[in-house]
Structure 1
Amino acid sequence: MKKWTILVLSMIGIGIVIGGYHSLVTSHTSSASAQHLSVKKSHPNHVQQKSSMRPMTGDYYLKSSEKKPYVDLKKYQHVNVLVSIAKQRVYIRSNQKVLYTMYSSTGKNDTTPRGQYHIQGERGQHFYNASSDEGANYWVSWKDHGIYLFHSVPVDHTGHYIAAEGQQLGKKAASHGCVRLSVSDAKWFYENIPENTEVTIR
């Protein structure tokens, strides 16, 4: 009788130990899974980054394309400019790293030449072409010494920015071959992009 009592008590004890171990393992596994999910949710690859680009609405063509401050080019080496005709964007870069992105409008009917160029010595604050009844501000030459330019969205003969033209910026090709920028971007470009800076247009 004692042997059976001891045997039953032993089996109960083993069951308690096994049950406790199972409970501990289950609890640990659940905790680890929850921790893994928590880590996964907070992992930087799962965080959606907000765009710093200004919405293309209203008078955006007067302002900077990005909501962040312009970069100090003196802090970077091998600064270059990439113009994307397909995306209607201008990228200010250090080597291959994009420092700042600008909305742009290149030439209608593929009139902006593709290739490798350099910023030329000619630049100015204003021009006006009576034959097209359009001008622009803050221009910088990149081909044919005053023919192909980076410049602001167009102005009329009174010097006022033409809203209908400005609102095409970043959306479609609209110029006669030059690269249009917002007024703020064109001013910064005019004041900061050094002569001989490499320009790639593709």
Structure 2
Amino acid sequence: MATANNRSKTTKNTSNPEAISSHMRTPIDWHKSSETVPYPDLSKVKNFWIKVSLKKNRTYLYDGQKLIYTMYSSGGMYTKNPQTGKTESMTPIGTYYAQAERGNSFFNQSLGEGANYYVSWLNHGTYLFHSVPTKAGGTYNVKEADKLGKSTGSHGCIRLSIPDAQWMSSHLPVGTKIKIVN
């Protein structure tokens, strides 16, 4: 009986690599990397791409079909689309590509928040991967940061832990495919 259960778990993990990652840091700590293992060395990755799951609050890094790293993330809040009447994420769904715009910090005056370590993936600075949000003075907004990996909260960007965002800003090659799914 124990053997059948173990085999079942193995099959589940192989057929859905996103189901469980034994290296995920628990509890979630937005000050630390999402996994307890080193970030992937992209010089050894042949077919690098990213999948963001808005409902699971996860960002998955892939080499072809092989999952190589998982990041806790938080995407756009869900709002009612006035044209369709459907509830949709403020984060656009679809396939996009990493852009050249990136930097150490920004502040959006109209939203009253900013972030650190950003890289653009749509509309050249409109939609970004970035750290959990900062307030006007540059301190982290703890209430919003604590949503990381648990719920949505952004205005459309993908929020990451501080080290995950820093790694992404420093290492994400321009042109990397990014698939955003609900």
Q: TM-score, normalised by structure 2?
A: 0.82
Of all paired residues, the percent bearing the same amino acid is 45
| Greater percentage in strand | 2
Counterpart of 2:23 (choices 52, 66, 72) is 52
The correspondence for 2:121, drawn from 134, 137, 142, is: 142
Do structure 1's residue 99 and structure 2's residue 78 form an aligned pair? no
Deviation at residue 130 of structure 1 after TM alignment: 1.8
Structure 2 SS opposite 1:61: coil
Residue identity opposite 1:142 in structure 2: W
Divergent runs of 4+, >6 A: 46-50
Q: By percentage of residues, which structure has more helix?
A: 1
- Residue of structure 1 equivalent to 2:15: none
Q: Please tell me whether Structure 1 or Structure 2 has the larger radius of gyration of its CA atoms.
A: 1
Q: What is the aligned residue count?
A: 161
The gaps in structure 2 that reach 5 residues or longer are 11-19, 79-88
Give the alignment partner of residue 98 of structure 2, picking from 94, 108, 119.
Answer: 119
Normalised to the residue count of structure 1, the TM-score between the two structures is 0.74
Equivalence for 2:84: none
1:64 to 2, 16, 33: 33
- The root-mean-square deviation of aligned C-alpha atoms, in Å, is 2.1
Consecutive unaligned residues in structure 1, runs of 5 or more? 1-36
Distance across 2 between alignment mates of 1:72 and 1:99: 10
Shift of 1:56: 3.1
1:77 and 2:56 equivalent?
no
AA of the residue aligned to 1:172? S
Distance 1:133 1:50, change over 3 A: closer
My pick for the range that moved more, 153-162 or 176-185, is 153-162
Corresponding residue of 1:195: 174
